[in-house]
């Protein structure tokens, strides 16, 4: 064997995807027309798989804030927060996010992925235990693995499985972190956080919730699933990203534990990564203000989610258990998913094709993520396109 033999399986997957004539993993959007439309292969296409939940990527206030930052603070920081990369905007955004969540502390990171790596690797060490939902995002797995802690999976959203794991830990439960997501990114289902909080308190463990896909989507003011369930004060660490509802890049962690500020001295992904560019910070701050002052964005998002779910359900599509802005159609196998994805793109509808190993339970999906910026007519077109994929 040589160094490259391990890529044989990946080459086989690539060959299969390319057989459609357009590899879903190499789609290029040649021109972005709006938050919901782009030009793909010369054709105007509805963007139905972008995670742009509030449709803020073309918001005038966000764009102007980014342009102002570019002109006055340049294109990048060229350094980490621990070196020369702390600008006034970084500090302001941390304060604004802490105020938004009603917490005492906040750290921001260059991406949502590094937020999970950075927090988990700083918080945990060998000898600690992690109970991780089986369907958790790759960044959560990687952060736990990077920490050196003992990682135990529990069945997806199964609190009986979680209870059993905690009970087996015995006294070690007091050095245990439960890791889950608010809303999951494939099927749009939500974690049973109320029961998880009960178990956390019963065994003296800690709870970490990744609200990447639920920020701006759930809760009275858009904080996420934890707020929607009235559990904000019960979550030890909430992590999220700027790359979904806030239309930028970056990540954050908020907490009432004062030790979060000490993570700055222990988190390698924080210490050794260049800080977010000033323009990214500026657009993120502007988007957060839009999220707060425009609750109608969230209301419109949910109207679109209900319209799409109802339309696909009427077609007897195999959907996830919950109505949410993530609407995934389960396909019979990889081949049918690829064929369906190709038929959708041919009709001017871009979705995400999710296949193993990236998908839960080894299934294949065509996933839509609805935006507040989608019009009812665009939702109708998406439904019509799906009605034709089996023809």
**Res 286: pLDDT:** 98
Q: Write b or e for each residue in 351-368: b if 16 or more Cβ atoms lie within 10 A of its Cβ, otherwise e.
A: bbbbbeeebbeebbbbbb
Place of tokens 């502390």: 105
Helix (H, G, I), strand (E, B) or coil at 104: coil
CB distance 364 to 358 below 8 Å: no
**Res 52: pLDDT:** 98
Tokens read off for 18: 């390319």
Each domain of the chain, given as residue ranges in start order, spans 7-47+295-387, 60-293
**Res 19: pLDDT:** 75
Tokens read off for 281: 């910070």
Which CATH fold topology does 60-293 show?
3.40.640
List strands edge to edge, sheet with 352-354: 326-331, 364-369, 352-354
Vertex 150 angle, CA 148 and 156, to 5° = 120
pTM: 0.95
CA 191 from chain centre, in angstroms, equals 14
Residues of the chain with pLDDT under 50: none
**Res 177: pLDDT:** 98
Q: What is the pLDDT of residues 104-154, one digit of tens each?
A: 999 999 999 999 999 999 999 999 999 999 999 999 999 999 999 999 999
CA 354 from chain centre, in angstroms, equals 15
**Res 391: pLDDT:** 58
Query: Cα separation of 205 and 161, whole Å?
Result: 15
DSSP string, 164-200: HHHHHHGGGGGGEEEEEESB-TTT--B--HHHHHHHH
Which CATH fold topology does 7-47+295-387 show?
3.90.1150
CB distance 213 to 136 below 8 Å: no
Q: What is the pLDDT of residues 47-101, one digit of tens each?
A: 999 999 999 999 999 999 999 999 999 999 999 999 999 999 999 999 999 999 9
C-alpha dihedral (241, 247, 248, 252), degrees to nearest 10: -20
């Amino acid at each position: 064997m040589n160094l490259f033999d391990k890529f044989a399986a990946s080459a086989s997957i690539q060959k299969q995807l390319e057989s459609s004539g357009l590899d879903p993993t190499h789609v290029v959007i040649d021109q972005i027309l709006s938050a919901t439309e782009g030009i793909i292969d010369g054709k105007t296409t509805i963007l139905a798989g972008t995670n742009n939940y509030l449709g803020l990527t073309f918001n005038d206030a966000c764009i102007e804030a980014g342009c102002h930052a570019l002109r006055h603070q340049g294109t990048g920081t060229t350094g980490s927060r621990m070196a020369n990369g702390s600008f006034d905007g970084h500090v302001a955004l941390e304060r604004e996010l802490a105020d938004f969540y009603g917490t005492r502390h906040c750290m921001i990171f260059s991406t949502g992925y590094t937020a999970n790596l950075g927090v988990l690797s700083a918080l945990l060490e060998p000898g600690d235990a992690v109970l991780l939902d089986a369907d958790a995002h790759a960044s959560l797995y990687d952060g736990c693995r990077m920490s050196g802690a003992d990682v135990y999976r529990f069945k997806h959203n199964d609190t009986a499985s979680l209870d059993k794991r905690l009970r087996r830990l015995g006294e070690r439960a007091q050095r245990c972190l439960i890791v889950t997501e608010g809303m999951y990114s494939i099927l749009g289902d939500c974690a049973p956080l109320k029961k998880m909080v009960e178990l956390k308190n019963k065994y003296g463990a800690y709870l970490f919730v990744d609200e990447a896909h639920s920020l701006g989507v759930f809760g009275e003011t858009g904080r996420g699933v934890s707020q929607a369930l009235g559990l904000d004060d019960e979550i030890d660490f909430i992590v999220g990203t700027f790359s979904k509802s806030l239309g930028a890049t970056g990540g954050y962690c908020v907490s009432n534990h004062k030790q979060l500020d000490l993570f700055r001295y222990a988190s390698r992904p924080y210490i050794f990564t260049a800080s977010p560019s000033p323009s990214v910070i500026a657009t993120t701050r502007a988007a957060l203000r839009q999220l707060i002052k425009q609750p109608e964005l969230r209301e419109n998002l949910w109207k679109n989610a209900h319209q799409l779910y109802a339309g696909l359900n009427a077609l007897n599509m195999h959907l996830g258990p919950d109505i949410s802005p993530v609407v995934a159609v389960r396909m019979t196998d990889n081949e049918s998913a690829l064929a369906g994805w190709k038929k959708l793109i041919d009709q001017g509808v871009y979705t995400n094709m999710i296949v193993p190993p990236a998908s839960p339970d080894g299934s294949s999906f065509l996933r839509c993520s609805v935006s507040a910026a989608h019009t009812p007519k665009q939702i109708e077109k998406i439904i019509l396109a799906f009605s034709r994929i089996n023809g």
